[in-house]
Amino acid sequence: MQWNDKKMDALCEAFLCLRSPEEVRRFLRDLMTEEEIVECALRFQAAQLLDAGQSYESIQKTTKLSSTTVARISRWLRKGMEGYRLVIDRLQHTSPSREKRLV
């Protein structure tokens, strides 16, 4: 897959022009199926839970993601392109209610 092409740049620019969570929700709903959106939300929740020290088993029970998916997210969190790390760190610095987001 080409990560650095004009199509990807256009998609990234589209996200950057959104100004609120509601705008992001609207764009995501037009861009993806409901199932794809839920899957992405669960993966991000798993990354947050892993970062908070939760066990794989606990995360699987909470999210219903497979052990393979949780392991993959863990690997990406530790050795990926640092996207999860970037967002998790920024959210921790901008919101005092981080624990509420993990539930």
Q: Identify the band that residue 103 occupies on the pLDDT scale cut at 50, 70 and 90.
A: very low
53-90 as b/e, with b when 16 or more CB fall inside 10 Å? ebebeebbeebebeeebbeebbebbeeeeeebeeebee
Residue with tokens 């640092």: 82
Name the pTM for this structure. Answer: 0.84
pLDDT score recorded for residue 1: 63
User: Helices 67-79 and 56-63, interaxial angle, to 10°?
Assistant: 120
More confident residue, 2 or 86: 86
pLDDT (tens digit per residue) in 63-98? 999 999 999 999 999 999 999 999 999 999 886 554
State the amino acid at position 87 in one-letter form: V
pLDDT (tens digit per residue) in 32-41? 999 999 999 9
Q: What is the distance between the alpha carbons of residues 24 and 12, in angstroms, rounded to a whole number?
A: 12
